[in-house]
Copies of this chain bind each other. A is one copy, B any other.
Amino acid sequence: MQESLMIYNSLTRKKEEFKPIHAPHVGMYVCGPTVYGEAHLGHARPSVTFDILFRFLHFLGYKVRYVRNITDVGHLENDADEGEDKIAKKARLDELEPMEVVQEYTLNYHHCMQEMNVLPPSIEPRASGHIIEQQEYVRKILDSGYAYESNGSVYFNVEKYNKDFRYGILSGRNVEDMLSNTRSLDGQQEKRAPLDFALWKKASPEHIMQWNSDWSRGFPGWHLECSAMGEKYLGKEFDIHGGGMDLLFPHHECEIAQSTAANGKQAVRYWIHNNMITINGQKMGKSLGNFITLKQLFSGTHELLTQAYNPMTIRFFILQAHYRSTLDFSNEALQAAEKGMGRLLEGYEKITELPVSQTSSVSVADIEKKCLKAMLDDMNTPIVISHLFTALKTVHAVELGKETITDEDKKALLKIFEIYLFDILGIEQPNEKNENSSELLQKTITLLLDLRLQAKREKDYQKSDEIRDALTGMGVVIKDTKDGYEWKVN
In the complex, which range does the number of interface residues on chain A fall in?
Answer: 35 or more
Task: Select the residue from A103, A120, A438, A444 with max chain B CB neighbours within 10 A.
Answer: A444
A110 to B451, CA, bound (A): 50
Tell me the nearest residue of chain B to A234, going by C-beta.
Answer: B97
Contact yes or no, A474 B443, CB < 8 A: yes
Which residues of chain B are near A489, meaning CB under 8 Å? 440
User: A452 to nearest B CB, angstroms?
Assistant: 10
Residue numbers in B under 8 Å from A470 (CB-CB): 447
Interface hit among A78-86, A126-134, A195-203, A290-298: A126-134
Q: Interface digits, A181-208 against B, CB 8 Å rule (1 contact, 0 not)?
A: 0000000000000000000000000000
Known: A437-B441, A440-B441, A447-B470. A121 touches B103 (CB 8 A): yes
| Most interface-central of A65, A107, A447, A470 (chain B CB within 10 A) | A447
Interface bits A351-395 vs B (CB < 8 Å: 1, else 0): 000000000000000000000000000000000000000000000
Is B132 in contact with A211, judged by CB distance below 8 angstroms? yes
Out of B125, B128, B437, B467, name the residue touching A99 (CB < 8 Å): B125
- A444 touching B474 by the CB < 8 A rule? yes
Main SS class of interface, A? helix
> What residues of B have a CB within 8 angstroms of the CB of A471 in the complex?
444, 447
Encoded as 1 (CB less than 8 Å from any B CB) or 0, chain A from 168 to 191 comes to 000000000000000000000000
**Distance in Å: Cβ of A259 to nearest Cβ of chain B:** 19
Proximity bits, A146-186, B CB within 8 Å = 1, else 0: 00000000000000000000000000000000000000000
User: Quick one: CB contact mask for A434-465 with B, threshold 8 Å, 1 for yes?
Assistant: 10011011011101100100000000000100
Cβ-based interface call for A143 (8 A): no
A264 within 8 A of partner (CB): no
CB of A100 within 8 A of CB of B122, answer yes
Within 8 A of B (CB), among A92-136: 97, 99-100, 102-103, 107, 110, 120-126, 128-132, 136
Whether A212 sits at the interface, judged by CB under 8 Å, is yes
Q: Is the CB of B212 within 8 A of A132?
A: yes
Interface residues of A (CB under 8 A from B): 65, 97, 99-100, 102-103, 107, 110, 120-126, 128-132, 136, 211-212, 233, 433-434, 437-438, 440-441, 443-445, 447-448, 451, 463, 467, 470-471, 474-476, 489
